[in-house]
Amino acid sequence: MPTAFKTIDRIFAKAENDGRLSLFEHEVYAMLAAAGLATPKFRFIPKGRRVTKTDLAGLASAELVLKVTAPLIQHKTDIGGVIFVRNSPAAVNAGIKAILAAVPDCYLSWTKKFEKAGPGAGVSAETVRGDIRGVLVCENVDYEKFGFGTELLVGVRNSREFGPVISLGPGGVEVEYLTERIKDGQAVSISSAALLQARDVPAHLRPLAVHDKLVKPFRGQPPVLDARELYRIYLRLARLAAHYSPFGRNRYVWEEMEVNPFVVRRGTLIPLDGLCRFSRKHVIVADRPVRGIGPLLHPKSVAVIGVSEKLNLGHIILNNVLRQGFPRDKVYVVKPGLREIEGCLCVPDVASLPEPVDLFVLTLGADLVFDIMSQLIAHGKARSVIIIAGGMGEKQGTQRLEEKIVSLIADGRARGKLTPVVNGGNCLGIFSKPGHYDTTFIPEHKLRFPKTERSNLAYISQSGAFMVCRVSKLQRLEPLYGISLGNQLDLRISDYVNYLNDESEVKIFAVYAEGFKTGDGYLLARAARDVLKSPDRHILVYKSGRSPEGRVATAGHTASVAGDYRICRAILEDAGCIVVESIFEFENFIKGLTSLSDKKVRGRRVGLMSNAGFESVVMADGLSNGDALSLAAFGEETKRRLAAALAPLGIDKLQDIKNPLDVTPQADDAAFCACAEAILADPGVDCAVISPVPMTPAMQTLAPGPGYSESINDPKSTSLRLAELFRATDKPFVVSIDAGSPYDAMAGQLEDAGVPVFRRADDAMAFLRRYVAASLKRIS
């Protein structure tokens, strides 16, 4: 049946007219019923009215549940607001009397545990007594009891960053306890209600620990629930949450909705307890003019203000712009009293610029930014601006300055004036290889942007320092773009992802985020879904600032079960992003993803090979840790080729031909690489980890040096042969070189050839697992 949204709107309107922004439990039941869900049978008895036989007609259970109903009280069980009585008017009336007498004092004792946490703190017993509206009389639902999984929690909360988020997991009074002790990814399903597709629901719920307990036979008993019923309820509630999203046009917004628990009665999920908080707090997630990023990243003219004749911050930026090859005759400096600096024309003020520039770099202090921005808009002199200055928004008392600039930009756009898109403030600048400029304020002798023929990487970082640290460490990877966003007072991470979606050269988006403006997490996830429709592209995310939000005594369980970072990770991963947990992982994945961008992922079947037994074991141990790879079964032709490669050295008599393949330290360059080639040629192998432990004397693994004759520069060396194999195959494989600094040259030679190299086998396995899983998720 279709959801009766008009009926639900009337429920909200009635509560709102009653001065409430939350629904009573019987109103939650009515809302769920309007959405096509089964609910218990109930009667609401207003305070002061006695129950009659007519009231109890239709409540057929021998025992009834009485629940206090009051705007202040949401956790009724904790304060004696739920009792069970016989199904008779006398018993029900006596029970109601007992609840009304006990609840006020119990509620006050309970709230003292939470000090000032919640709307009930500090009220009197008389206030609580007057707040009680009545008692809900419900049938006692006779439901299936089968241990873990008997009770489910389904919750929706309005996340400031991501909008409506729906979660499902084990429920009951110990929900937080259970969630913390079940392996992440198997405890709770978390989805963006606005982005969830019907076809994705099974994939969201199947990994849960409670899933199979519900929908598969257990200990000889048939399933208690049809999987389709579980998926239907989850999707129906997600659709309801999306309808009442803060991003939509409907009158009301779900701030929090929770059913804890849902139970199974005769093959149907039934809600036993529910809460819902609502508001009218809508959020406008209007996109900025993303097309304006074109002149920002590909300018034909640049102006800089704040350049001193001495080497100040502005002068460093000017030098960096020119050093990247930007034509001097298209670089202007706003500086009175001079005709030129570094061969660039100087003008006395913004109004004197000879043309509207594509990019204006503003390096003055925060107190001067508003005035310069006003001039740029008034005279129509810039299509984009990079604001370097800090001290806007992040320092106490400066929020008003940022708000003024935001309003100025909005007003200019509303009036149709030439109004620039703005990157920053408090940013370190932008590097654009295609745009031939570098506006970062790090001098060349402190930071060198590498120069390589192959560039497919874009850094999009909220922190400029984080970005340049990665650039400094990953010197074999020249980015196409290095974008430091700073405070994001105008352009956001999602805007750059949207814009760069049309630049096919960008294959890897390396995103560092500290926090999102309201609704921007949702916009990033939406943009990521579009970008990642291309199988050769990846979005890598490192999210800092993971502290869980505080909780108040009257909140539902959903906030604690699906904390802010857990939501961020789940929704971005669902959009196809790879979310990493450490800077070390971030760097490793940048190296791996940039190298494998032109490879094809066909499946999870992996070939593993080393010349050391311990590495074969370590790699086999690393097959499954969350995401999983499966050992490929070598075909007969592959086994023949492997045996032929190993036979001349007698290794076939020492080791069985199996996966993982241990070729022993006796394998020389030719035998080792012949085996790697045979494994990758096998139709049953989708990917591989190749791990030459380089200390063996049988292989050439050292750069030329005194005292030995081997050389990695020999065309027949392992590293050069593996590089050639990497170029020849479209299957992804990674190399592990678990050895110290004498073998840095070997690793570097492979990396220069584009081969992804890890310095430990477990790191290689961890990367390949995540890479394959993310790729397959998008093509499935």
**Three-state SS for 148?**
coil
Final residue before a domain boundary, out of 572, 597, 622: 597
Q: Are residues 462 and 511 in the same domain?
A: yes
What is the average per-residue pLDDT within 550-574? Answer: 62
Residues 614 and 582 in one domain: no
pLDDT value for 624: 86
Show the CA angle centred on residue 433, arms to residues 432 and 439, nearest 5°: 40
Has residue 157 been placed in a domain? yes
- The rounded distance, in Å, linking the Cα atoms of 251 and 216 is 41
Cβ–Cβ < 8 Å for 487, 507:
no
Q: Which residues contact 405 (CB under 8 A, 6 or more apart)?
A: 369, 370, 373, 392, 422, 489
CA atoms 721, 712, 607, 776: torsion sign: negative
Q: What is the pLDDT of residue 284?
A: 83
- Residue 341 is given by DSSP the state E
| Bond prior to 261 in cis (omega within 30° of 0) | yes
Asked if the model's pLDDT at residue 183 lies above 70, the reply is no
772 and 627 part of one domain: yes
Strand extents, DSSP E, 396-555: 421-424, 430-432, 437-438, 457-461, 481-484, 508-513, 538-543
pLDDT at 580: 95
Is 274 found in the same domain as 237? yes
- The H or E element spanning position 643 is helix 636-646
Instruction: Note whether 754 and 612 are same-domain residues.
Output: yes
Do residues 753 and 723 lie in contact, with contact meaning Cβ atoms separated by under 8 Å? yes
Looking at every residue in the chain, the average pLDDT score rounds to 91
In 430-545, the DSSP E strands lie at 430-432, 437-438, 457-461, 481-484, 508-513, 538-543
Q: Is residue 331 included in any domain, yes or no?
A: yes
pLDDT at 550 over 80: no
Number of domains present in the structure of the chain: 5
What are the tokens at 208?
Answer: 């849960």
User: What CATH number does the domain containing 317 carry?
Assistant: 3.40.50.720
Enumerate long-range contacts of 638-644, CB under 8 Å, 24 or more apart.
Answer: 638/678, 638/679, 638/681, 638/682, 638/684, 638/685, 641/674, 641/678, 641/681, 642/675, 642/678, 642/679
Q: Is 432 inside a domain boundary?
A: no
Q: Closest by alpha carbon to 686, among 645, 644, 729?
A: 729
CA distances in angstroms from 211 to 108, 146, 204, 207, 462, listed in the order given: 39, 13, 10, 7, 38
pLDDT value at position 122? 64
Q: Residue 681 domain-assigned? A: yes
Position 8 scores a pLDDT of 97
What is the domain-level CATH number for residue 589? 3.40.50.261
* Per-residue pLDDT reduced to its tens digit, 139-169: 999 999 988 889 999 999 999 999 999 999 9
Is residue 301 in some structural domain? yes
Cα separations in angstroms, 429 against 360, 583, 738: 12, 21, 37
pLDDT bin (cut points 50, 70, 90) of residue 553 is very low
Angle value at C-alpha 738, between 737 and 742, nearest 5 degrees: 80
Q: Are residues 615 and 754 in the same domain?
A: yes
- Residues 639-661 have a mean pLDDT of 92
Range 195-216 average pLDDT: 93
Q: Do 67 and 115 belong together in one domain?
A: yes
Stretch 528-534: mean pLDDT, rounded? 94
Residue 133 and residue 247 in one domain: no
Task: Report pLDDT for 187.
Answer: 82
| Percentage of the chain lying above the pLDDT 70 cut | 94
* Location of structure tokens 């805007």: 495
Confidence grade of residue 171 (pLDDT, cut at 50, 70, 90): confident
Residues 610 and 740 grouped into a single domain: yes
CATH number for the domain that contains residue 274: 3.30.470.20
Whether residues 572 and 460 share a domain: the answer is yes
Per-residue model confidence (pLDDT) at position 174:
63
Residue 144 lies in a domain: no
DSSP result, 657-692:
--SSEE--TT--HHHHHHHHHHHHH-TT--EEEEE-
Same domain? 724 vs 605 = yes
Of 66-80, 223-237, 573-587, 691-705, the range with the lowest mean pLDDT is 66-80
Dist. CA 744–CA 737, nearest whole Å: 9
pLDDT in tens, 474-523: 999 999 999 999 999 999 999 999 999 999 999 999 999 998 889 999 99
pLDDT one-digit tens code per residue, 724-757: 999 999 999 999 999 999 999 999 999 999 999 9
265-290: pLDDT as tens digits: 999 999 999 999 999 999 887 767 89
Q: In terms of pLDDT, which residue wins out, 495 or 111?
A: 495
Burial tier of 711 (Cβ tally within 10 Å: 0-12, 13-18, 19+): middle
Residue 489: give the domain boundaries: 447-597
Please check whether residue 126 lies inside any domain of the structure.
yes
- Last residue within a domain, chosen from 375, 391, 425: 425
Where does the pLDDT of residue 777 fall: very low under 50, low under 70, confident under 90, or very high at 90 and above?
confident
Q: Which residue has the tokens 């497919």?
A: 456
Q: Which of 202-206, 514-518, 661-665, 732-736 is least confident?
A: 514-518
Please report which confidence band the pLDDT of residue 552 belongs to, taking 50, 70 and 90 as the band edges. Answer: very low
Same domain for 759 and 621: yes
Distance of alpha carbon 497 from alpha carbon 635, whole angstroms = 43
* Four-CA torsion 508, 514, 519, 523, nearest 10 degrees: 0
Whole-angstrom Cα distance, residue 710 to residue 701? 7
Among left, alpha and beta (phi > 0; psi -120 to 50; other), residue 746 is: alpha
What pLDDT sits at residue 398? Answer: 63
Among residues 394, 425, 456, the one where a domain terminates is: 425
Helix-strand-coil split of the chain, %, nearest 5: 35, 20, 45
Residue 416 has pLDDT above 60, yes or no: yes
| pLDDT attached to residue 400 | 85
Note whether residue 145 is domain-resident: no
- Which range is least confidently modeled, 122-136, 326-340, 716-730? 122-136
Note whether 52 and 89 are within 8 A (CB). yes
